Amino acid sequence: MKSIVPNESSQLSLFPLIQDQTKQFETNLYNIGLFSGNQMNKRNVLSLYIDNIEIHFAEKKRDHILFTAREIIIHDKYDSINSDQSLLGETEQNQGNLQLFYFSNRLIFKSANDLVLLCKNSLSESLKSSSLCCLFATHTFMVAFEFQQQLHQKEDDKFLYTFIDCAPLFKDHADTFFKEYIEKQKQSILSYYENCNGLDDTKDDEVMQNTESNFKRMLNEVSKLATTWRTAFTTEDYLSLVAFFVNSILSKFIDMLLALENISSLETSRLSQLCSHFLMFQQLFLYPGEPEELAKPRMKLIKNWKKVWQLNRVLDLTLSEIVGLYNKGLLSRLSNQELKMLVLSIFAEFDLRTTFLETLDNKINRINK
């Protein structure tokens, strides 16, 4: 019987005929002895199902709406459209007055428009079916009740709540959702590091190829997100958001590199090669048509930007060159402890290494005191 539950509310009008045919079929089963007089509950099982067809249709429609919404949310993460092409850009006539559902034209996520359109169409269809109306009304009531419980009651105990009353709650929910969205996107981006063998053993060609491939995929994902954010946020918010993501990527890279031991000369060269991929981040801090000189001051938003390039210099230089830069204060972004870890991992035991490590230890001890 489930297979005959309609997909559209317009098909419900056909079911009175099916109801009559089902009851006649049950009577025939009773007459030929398949149902006895004390089995009335079984005798009417088919007609009872048909009598409740609107309920079964509402349940089927609900499952379809939830499945469709889930598909919309999962797919097309970066697809966007102009708001004037969306449901949010529509206008309607209301008793001679133009009612606008419109804000200044901007790019919005296509998935957001698809979800609103799905709700609008579903609600319109629900008006044609009493059971669907009850279903939507019940859900709406539960949402409204939940919000009412959270509103701060005033002394006059107002019973009518407007959108303005609920606005702070909507903002709190939106802030929570956006934080969760950002955290989820960040973890998704950083997950590419999980396939990089901890940056270890890059002297192996296959390991290096796999690690570099994951680096490129990670940076490509960041670039896709930035393309969407660049048109969706104000310049200040966009730059802050991109800086947060870039800094998280660099911070993870630095931690992984500092955890390495016994880094060979070939590995230092290949780690520096991986580091060079981060240069593409400069393009994320420019809008189309802007001169490249504007990127440099904006890169100051990235806390670890200079640090990662000082670390890269350490990978490329001899120990005597590193000591020279250190004495000139040109490796100040790296702490004495971090520099010590790098020297121990990269260079074999010899006099200059011993002397420099003693210098670093003395400064570390002095700071700790």
Angle subtended by helix axes 163-190 and 235-258, to nearest 10: 30
Q: For 204-246, how does the pLDDT look when each residue is reduced to its tens digit (9 = 90+)?
A: 999 999 999 999 999 999 999 898 888 778 888 899 999 999 9
pTM: 0.59
Which tens digits make up the pLDDT trace of 185-210?
Answer: 999 999 999 999 999 999 999 999 99
108 to 101, 143, 184, 198: CA distances (angstroms): 14, 25, 20, 37
Per-residue pLDDT averaged across 357-363, rounded?
Answer: 93
Average pLDDT over residues 113-134: 64
152 pLDDT above the threshold of 60: no
| Total length of the chain | 369
Lowest mean pLDDT among 11-15, 145-149, 361-365: 145-149
Torsion, Cα 67 73 78 82, to 10 degrees, reads 90
Categorise residue 201: left if φ over 0, alpha if ψ from -120 to 50, beta otherwise: left
Phi/psi zone of residue 109: left (φ > 0), alpha (ψ -120 to 50 degrees), beta?
A: beta
pLDDT at residue 358 greater than cutoff 90: yes
What confidence score (pLDDT) does residue 127 get?
58
Distance (Å, whole) CA 331 – CA 308: 11
Token digits of residue 346: 């990269």
Structure token pair of residue 21:
């045919």
Domains annotated for the chain, with CATH where assigned, are 2-79+109-147 (no CATH), 170-368 (1.10.357.150)
Contact 266, 208 (CB under 8 A): no
Enter the DSSP assignment of 93.
E
**Of the given ranges (36-50, 66-80, 102-116, 140-154), which has the lowest mean pLDDT?**
140-154
Residues in CB range of 220: below 8 A, 6 or more apart: none
pLDDT at residue 28 in the model? 78
Per residue in 265-291, pLDDT tens?
A: 999 999 999 999 999 999 999 998 899
pLDDT of residue 69: 76
Residue 103 has pLDDT above 90, yes or no: no
pLDDT of residue 32: 77
Q: What is the pLDDT of residue 84?
A: 66
Evaluate if residue 341 carries a pLDDT over 80.
yes
Q: How confident is the model at residue 257 (pLDDT cuts 50, 70, 90)?
A: very high
Tell me the three state secondary structure of residue 6: coil
Asked if residue 346 lies in contact with residue 263, where contact means CB atoms within 8 angstroms, the answer is yes
- The reported pLDDT for the residue numbered 106 is 62
Instruction: Name the E strands within the chain.
Output: 80-82, 91-94, 97-100, 107-109
pLDDT tens, position by position, 308-333 = 999 999 999 999 999 999 999 999 99
Helix (H, G, I), strand (E, B) or coil at 109: strand
DSSP secondary-structure letter at 79? -
Task: Kindly state the percentage of the chain with pLDDT values over 90.
Answer: 44
Q: What amino acid is encoded at 354 in this protein?
A: T
3 state SS of 94: strand
Q: Helix or strand or coil: residue 157?
A: coil
In Å, how far are 78, 127, 243, 295, 341 from 347, measured between CA atoms? 45, 76, 33, 35, 10
pLDDT digit string, tens, across residues 6-60:
777 777 777 777 777 777 777 777 777 766 655 555 556 676 777 777 777 777 7
Q: Give the lowest-confidence range in 147-161, 234-248, 252-266, 325-339.
A: 147-161
Q: What is the mean pLDDT of the chain?
A: 78
Do the beta carbons of residue 288 and residue 312 sit within 8 Å?
no
Measured distance CA(263)–CA(347) in Å, rounded: 8
How big is the CA angle at 215 (ends 210 and 221), to the nearest 5 degrees?
125
- Distance CA(248)–CA(255), nearest Å, equals 11
Question: How much of the chain, in percent, has pLDDT values that exceed 70?
Answer: 72
Pairing of strands 97-100, 91-94: antiparallel
